[in-house]
Amino acid sequence: MNYDNVKRDSRNVKIKARLQLVSFFSGAATMVLELTGSRMIAPFFGTSLIVWTALIGIIMTSLCLGNWLGGSVADKNPTGKVLGRILMFAAIIIAITAFMSNYILTTLQGLSLNLYMSSVFSALIIFAPSSVLLGMVSPFVARLAMQNVDSSGAVVGRLSALNSAGSIFGTFMGGFVLISLFPSGVILMFVASVVALLSVLVYTGAWRKIISIVMFMSLFGGAYAAKTYGLPFSPIGTQIDTKYNHLSIVESVDRRNGRRIRVLITDPDSTQSLMYTDHPTELLSEYTKFYDLAFHYKPDTKKILMLGGGGYSVPKYLLAQSRDLSVDVVELDPGITQAARDYFNLKDDPKLTIFHEDARTFLNRRAFQTPEVEQYDAILMDTFTSSTIIPFQLTTVETAERLRRLLKPDGVLIVNTITSLYGPKSGVFHGIYKAFSNSFSTMMIFLVNAPDPRYAYALQNIILVAMGDTASTVSPTPDAKFSKLLANQWLEPFAPDPSVPAFTDAFAPVERYALVQHRNN
């Protein structure tokens, strides 16, 4: 037996196993980086389709460039030392990203570029360098693992499969586990430490391995320190990552009266919930006051469904007004509900029931199983995060049908939208209006700013009140509170734009109209 051959074969097996681990975990690191990137950009530029498109596009472009460069470098100098350096540089850049990203994003935000440019530059500056380096790993690993031409196809196929499997692992690990448990900066430091550890697997010299191990320990220690003490250049306020959102909670002062307010932000273009710290159940946002119209058009309202919880401003207000009310709230994100409990004075109440699920899923389930006695007197919708982040599945003909099934025959539906009545920014509203008019015979429009033609073309909160045939639009002489709200009703004839389709589940191009809104804002 030739022991030299056995020893060489054993060494080759170990090298291949190490290269396979590098291929797998570099793919995982790339996907965790991409998912975490969306959370880092969210407090500054939101999570709209524009931001996601820029982030995915830049990272994919960077990976393509990295693949090309990695193949070229591997042909010229196919050694573990070079691959180890690539991995070390990637680890260092990812760590720098964790420390500098908020500073870079703050600077870009201050330049007041449009959302397209801001999103592209953010992804380009923060994520392109590390993505290029990670993209170089896959072809370099394939070159090192290849022993002869006859088996090249199998080697490349196996390593590509492992890299893809790592990407799948990173997607689920990042989306289901890491983002739910750790701040974005901590995740990046952890990814950097893993990438540094990978370099140990490809370095041959003992001193290089020692340097890699020291780098790994330093970065891992940095991740622990970042979790405990935070990172520099952090945004102002409390930052919370949930399964679905990045939350910013800040405090400010209402300039109108000098009272302190607490603000919940999930999108930088708007505020999702506001609360007076000295009176948590008082409504602060003007548009939320229009939900009181439910009691004007149906004075005996007792059972209310609210889609979208946010800071729970409206449910808290409703329950504080009457002990006879019961409110069901559908909120997708349990993290938002927990933030409302921790920061917005949401308390347990036997009259408040919270469902943590997608609003459309809730409607699909309940609309066809709820007996008539369990129908709601009023349904309040507040699911628009901003003018660009719109859950299309809640704007369609099919959604309207399910809402109608859940309402009593004389019930009231009140929908908050962020759009304009006419002009280039109005497409979203016209599509929703057409979709909902299929199920509701009475449709009334309220402009939160004022029912003045000068505001009809402005981007603003527009309240849509919808009722069926048996509902009454005439109520006893309204008190002062209702009179003020009713004064904002748009009484001019309204004809939806014929070029805008009624949104359906099959075709609801809300992104197209929302992007026009943002571009013209």
Residue 476 pLDDT:
55
Residue 447 pLDDT:
96
Of 40, 12, 46, give the one whose Cα is nearest residue 102. Answer: 40
Distance CA 123, CA 54 (A): 7
Residue 497 pLDDT:
93
Distance CA 115, CA 387 (A): 13
Distance CA 267, CA 271 (A): 7
Residue 1 pLDDT:
45
Residue 3 pLDDT:
43
> Tokens 């990637």 label which residue?
90
Distance CA 466, CA 463 (A): 10
Buried b (16+ CB within 10 A) or exposed e, 330-344: bbbbbbbbebbeebb
Of 433, 461, 430, give the one whose Cα is nearest residue 447. Answer: 461
The alpha-helical segments, DSSP class H, found in 308-412 are 313-321, 334-343, 359-367, 397-406
In single-letter form, the type of residue at position 226 comes to A
Residue 4 pLDDT:
43
Residue 13 pLDDT:
58
Residue 501 pLDDT:
94
Distance CA 209, CA 203 (A): 6
Residue 518 pLDDT:
52
240-277 tens-digit pLDDT: 878 787 788 999 898 889 999 999 988 766 678 999 99
Contact 376, 406 (CB under 8 A): yes
Residues 6+ apart with CB under 8 A from 128: 58, 59, 61, 62
Residue 2 pLDDT:
46
Distance CA 467, CA 1 (A): 89
> What crossing angle do the helices spanning 510-519 and 49-76 adopt, rounded to 10°?
90
Taking the whole predicted model, whether its pTM rises above 0.75 is answered as yes
> What crossing angle do the helices spanning 3-45 and 49-76 adopt, rounded to 10°?
150
The alpha-helical segments, DSSP class H, found in 46-79 are 49-76
List, as own/partner pairs, every contact residues 344-350 make where C-beta atoms lie below 8 angstroms and the sequence separation is at least 24, other chains included: 344/262, 344/264, 344/273, 344/275, 344/280, 344/311, 344/312, 344/313, 344/316, 345/275, 345/280, 345/281, 345/316, 346/311, 346/312, 346/315, 346/316, 349/319
Contact 104, 38 (CB under 8 A): no
> Tokens 């196993």 label which residue?
17
3-state helix, strand, coil in the chain (%, to 5): 55, 15, 30
Residue 6 pLDDT:
37
CA angle at residue 171 from 166 to 177, to 5 degrees?
A: 115
Token representation of residue 514: 């929302």
Residue 250 φ then ψ, to 5°: -130, 165
Distance CA 426, CA 514 (A): 9
Of 35, 55, 60, give the one whose Cα is nearest residue 135. Answer: 60
Distance CA 348, CA 229 (A): 32
Residues of the chain with pLDDT below 50 are: 1-10
Q: Within 13 A of 424's CA, how many CA atoms are on the CB side?
A: 7
Residue 118 pLDDT:
87
Domains of the chain listed by start with CATH number: 3-229 (1.20.1250), 280-519 (3.40.50.150)
421-439 tens-digit pLDDT: 999 889 999 999 999 999 9
Distance CA 370, CA 470 (A): 20
> What crossing angle do the helices spanning 80-110 and 206-229 adopt, rounded to 10°?
30
3-state secondary structure of 414: strand
Residue 40 pLDDT:
83
Residue 414 φ then ψ, to 5°: -125, 120
Q: How many of the other CB atoms lie within 10 Å of CB of 10?
A: 10
Residue 151 pLDDT:
64
